[in-house]
Amino acid sequence: MSLSEVLKVAARGDGVTADGRHVPLAAPGDRIGADGSIVPGPHHREPPCRHFPTCGGCQLQHLDDAAWSGFIVDRIAGALAQHKLETEIRVPQLSPPRTRRRATLHAERRGRQVHLGFTAQGSHNLIDLQECHVLAPELFALLAPLRGLLAALLPGSRRINVHLARADQGVDVLLDGLEAEGLAAAEAITAFAHRHQLARFAMDEGLGPTARWEPDPVTITLGGVAVPFPPANFLQATAEGEAALVSAVREIAGDAGTVADLFAGLGTFTFAFPMAKVYAAEAARDSILSLKAAAGQARRLVFADHRDLFRRPATGTDLDKFDAVVLDPPRAGAREQVGELARARAPHIAYVSCNPSTFARDAEILCEGGYTLDWIQPVGQFRWSTHVELAARFSR
């Protein structure tokens, strides 16, 4: 029987053979029979989790780290090639298993039981997690007791979102889409939060999160600065991933005395430059108010601007004033802002992206404006996921 070798892994996680066949759960170096059977190769590993491949939390547990790194590099190189770009792509920095410090799970009642977990691949079916090799242990440890609490609170026809994050004070919990009124519910929530030493327990009944338990103001430390942490706010998925991105951005900016941080969020990169004057722009009101308060408390030289950079991008003339520009847009990229940035004279740009496709589109605009794409540092902080992040250096 002739066997076809798997050469690479496609964007959605299927192995691809030399003759173009897409084979689910195949790794580079595997050999595929005519009947679709897989003969494991050197990069194929036994998935550690009982829920794989059904659970949508992971797509690539059958790859070893070398193959996962290769997948990440291929994704970035392929996106660049679509825009006739190429550059040095460094070895990806991968977060270890069980380090994910934030996640959004889903919960629903099935009879007397409450199921809590991720949805299945390509469907809305809920996988009730009995183990997880990506969540930080302190987050996973809450799943069983949360089922017990939700058994008393969750109505029969409702699916809700459960946001978990590890803050400075402990685990932050937000239930999104659930109403829990009355003395019995209040006492159950308070007892639960106290028993598990939560940093905060909040609920969003449709009008925004309201804290039901928060003994101390919840913060997340960024660059040595304690920043107020609004419920379910954006946070890099792992501490290791955050450190890798911050290190790359610092390397790009060098000894810049003035830095513009666009799409600043809570200040992951704003607070990475303790000696610089930083302009921080962010559209989310809660985030920019937290950043501003933290900068004032820490006496950092930060000007915080509540600004929608899609509707009102910082102009090229404004950005001429900075030694380095950092931008970390959402998955849609930053076409409007990049158009202005391409006209600026800032010597260094650090572009942090979670979408290689929109990054490559924006990189082409910057290169057409006279910038050079020097290198890319990939970061894999969504363990065994097809999700790819990167930090890229542009210069002129």
Burial of 90 (0-12, 13-18, 19+ CB in 10 A): middle
Residue type, 173: V
| 354 is known as an active-site residue | yes
CA distance 264 to 274: 15
The pair of structure tokens assigned to 371 is 């910038």
Contacts of 207 (CB under 8 A, 6+ apart): none
Which segments of 48-144 are extended strands (E)? 88-89, 93-94, 102-110, 113-117
For residue 14, the 8-state DSSP code is -
The residue with tokens 């996680």 is 13
Residue type, 334: A
Contact call for residues 244 and 379 (beta carbons, < 8 A)? yes
List the catalytic residue out of 49, 55, 354, 367. Answer: 354
Q: Where are the alpha helices (DSSP H) in the chain?
A: 65-81, 137-140, 143-153, 183-195, 239-253, 285-298, 316-319, 335-341, 356-368
Contacts of 110 (CB under 8 A, 6+ apart): none
Angle between helices 356-368 and 65-81 (to 10 degrees): 40
Contact call for residues 288 and 264 (beta carbons, < 8 A)? yes
Cis? peptide before 53, omega within 30° of 0 = yes
Task: State the catalytic residues.
Answer: 354
